[in-house]
Amino acid sequence: MGILDWIKGGATGAQAAGTVSAGGGDIGGDKGVELAGLNFKLAVDAHMKWKSRLESYINGTSTEDLKVEVVCRDDQCVLGKWVYSHGGERFGFSETFVDMKEHHAHFHRTASEVLATAQAGQKEQALSLLHRGNYGRTSERVKMALARLFVLVSDGKAAIDAHQKWKGRLRDAITGKSQENLSVEDIAKDNQCHLGQWLHGAGKERYAHLPAYHWVKEWHTQFHLRAGEVLAMARAGDVDGALTMLEEGEYAKASDQVTSALVALFEQQEADRK
């Protein structure tokens, strides 16, 4: 069973114990599967544990001091903290990410309603909400949204990471921290880097039929032209101006557009699969 199937199936039984393999490997143990700063296994485990935590609280067997005003917040758990930090910064423009964020927030509101009912002394009603109310549906939607996000992150990770490394490479070259002999002429070409080779090779074969592929390709070309301008400015002696261009202006715009276009490409791929 792969990680996607594991997420969809939920962390129960042997899965929660960490004995399920992903692509022939073990996704269990303490490590799990971490992509883009989020350990998906730990995030799903923590999400699935909410049901047993609430049930124990309702039945009076829990030692936790759960508070409605905390449980209702969607920024306190493992997933929520990632959503409002690294995840939001990197994928905030993605419809898949926004969908997951909304379902996750709705889940915490629903969980807090269960808790509030229990704290009002309505044990049977609280158990009913937990097992037969909106709680189960909202929990399932979070799992499905996480599965879609995992596909987006895992499929796009290599391409996005390769692109985002350019900023550090250029900064190090400009400031003299790098021994890499970057050429303005080569940087300005869109088929020399890993992403460019992928776009002209395997990526083209796999995604050329999708409109987003051509958006990626167009912005990737613009990005390399702007990157060449940054390095040329530094080589002309204007180091401060080159460093400023890395953070704002046409280079920064092109870089952001490449990342956005890559996310859109993988989302279109997922839409075509359905």
Whether 99 and 210 share a structural domain? no
Residue 39: which CATH number? 1.20.120
Asked if the structure places residue 41 within a domain, the reply is yes
Whether 131 and 192 share a structural domain? no
Lowest mean pLDDT among 142-146, 171-175, 232-236: 142-146
Asked if the structure places residue 141 within a domain, the reply is yes
Q: How far apart are CA 158 and CA 146, in angstroms?
A: 19
Q: How far apart are CA 70 and CA 6, in angstroms?
A: 28
Whether 48 and 134 share a structural domain? yes
* pLDDT tens profile 175-217: 989 888 899 999 999 988 878 888 888 788 888 999 989 999 9
Asked if the structure places residue 207 within a domain, the reply is yes
Whether 104 and 198 share a structural domain? no
Whether 140 and 193 share a structural domain? no
Asked if the structure places residue 194 within a domain, the reply is yes
Whether 142 and 236 share a structural domain? no
Alpha helices in the chain (DSSP H): 3-9, 40-58, 68-71, 78-83, 86-91, 95-119, 123-132, 134-175, 184-187, 194-200, 202-207, 211-235, 239-247, 250-273
**pTM for the predicted model, two decimal places:** 0.57
| 133: containing domain | 35-154
Q: How far apart are CA 274 and CA 268, in angstroms?
A: 10
Whether 257 and 216 share a structural domain? yes
Asked if the structure places residue 25 within a domain, the reply is no
Model confidence band, residue 107 (pLDDT cutoffs 50, 70, 90): very high
Q: How far apart are CA 77 and CA 46, in angstroms?
A: 8
